[in-house]
Amino acid sequence: MEFRRINGLPPYVFAEINGRKAAARTAGRDIVDFGFGNPDLPSPDVAVAKLAEAAQNPKNHRYSASRGIPHLRLAIATRYKRVFGVDIDPDTEVVTTIGAKEGLSHLMWALIDRGDTAIVPSPSYPIHIYAPLFAGGQIVSVPMLDPSALDVATPGDSFFDGLLEAWQHAWPKPRVIICSFPHNPTTACVDLAFMERLVAFALEHDVVIVHDFAYADLGFDGYQPPSILQVPRAKECCVELYTLTKSFSMAGWRVGFMLGNADIVAALTKLKSYLDYGTFQPIQIASIVAMNEATDYPAQLNAIYQSRRDTLIEGLSRVGWDVKPPQGSMFIWAPIPEPYQEMGSLEFAKFLVDEADVATSPGVGFGEGGDGHIRFALIENELRTQQAIRNLKKALTKLG
Ligand SMILES: Cc1ncc(COP(=O)(O)O)c(C=O)c1O
């Protein structure tokens, strides 16, 4: 059968690693899995208890509000004020989404059409590349370099230079810039001054910025990732996606938000009113409780990820694989060690499953710009991480 839109999709390279991982497990091997960024830590107890209670009430079994019930929009507005000092009008400046991924994907339908383009970093979280394409547009790639490989420029400066160059050569001029900091997969982080530059650029060139803030609460060693909405006038040209997935370890619940420019919020709200009836109401109610009563939970999770980061970085260094610790996100973006570089990321990731019982994500799965790296997701605890390090020590015989 001939299909539309999905024909151009390359084979999902992560599926190759998953297949190998599954086969190894069937054969009885214990794979330490840093592959998929699927949080292993539990959701807050108060949210789970509230979900169970709210699910008992038949009133909550009906269709809910597609844009999110008012108290849920109020709870995220309150969190934005408390954490980022940003004022959000819960009636006009936020819409609930079924996770950040759904929000970003459908937003592209409202912003991009055939003939339009979006600027997207390379490498990128895959839906940042495919959402504009699904909407019928084209993408213009801007390199997102490994922050640990930058000599003089900060990740923000080098991305900004690439953006200026891409803008100069692009025709038609892009309508949208998609970005995301802390960045998946490269872990690049930026400061508020970078966000100010980006907003000034968007205002000057009349382009919309979509900032995916999936790792909003994952900053290490005292670093706090900035919200783009902290910049004065950002609401004139920007929207931001915030999600409970990583911040509250609520990945399966599918609760996210798009906040910022009221016209763009209204556009996505209108589109979603045709597409869905919103998230199951008990989940919305429990999400309110998570944000209002488990306010410190993101900080507790952050401490766990930071400790896992340290264990993995120290362990890799012991086997002769030096990687700079990331400032944020839940990943380690590791350059393939020199003696193995020729393999490319997919073959190297397969080698690690086969020879070290360690699963990672090959960088090429995030776009051509990622092929020199593999990504570790910090979803294994310290003991399991130590096990992985012992396995790597045996397998990586070409390292000193
Ligand atoms: C940059 C980025 N955006 C969005 C998501 C997914 O968020 P959600 O679960 O809210 O759809 C992820 C998950 O890995 C991500 O890395």
* Nearest CA owner, ligand 1 atom 14: 37
* Distance from residue 2's CA to the centre of ligand 1 (Å): 30
Q: What is the pLDDT of residues 268-296, one digit of tens each?
A: 999 999 999 999 999 999 999 999 999 99
**Domains in the chain, ordered, with CATH?**
13-42+297-395 (3.90.1150.10), 61-293 (3.40.640.10)
Q: What is the pLDDT of residues 294-342, one digit of tens each?
A: 999 999 999 999 999 999 999 999 999 999 999 999 999 999 999 999 9
Ligand 1 within 6 A of 243 CB?
yes
Q: How far apart are CA 100 and CA 35, in angstroms?
A: 20
Supply the pLDDT for residue 233: 98
Supply the pLDDT for residue 6: 83
Mean pLDDT score, 380-395: 97
Ligand 1 within 6 A of 125 CB?
yes
Atom of ligand 1 nearest to the CA of 256: 10
| The two structure tokens encoding residue 55 | 């699910």
Handedness of CA 57, 297, 234, 110 (dihedral sign): negative
Q: How far apart are CA 92 and CA 264, in angstroms?
A: 10
* Distance from residue 246's CA to the centre of ligand 1 (Å): 8
Q: Which positions ≥6 away from 151 have C-beta within 8 Å? A: none
Q: Looking at this protein, which amino acid is placed at residue 274?
A: Y
Ligand 1 within 6 A of 99 CB?
yes
Q: What is the pLDDT of residues 60-94, one digit of tens each?
A: 999 999 999 999 999 999 999 999 999 999 999 99
Ligand 1 within 6 A of 240 CB?
no
The reported pTM is 0.97
Ligand 1 within 6 A of 101 CB?
yes
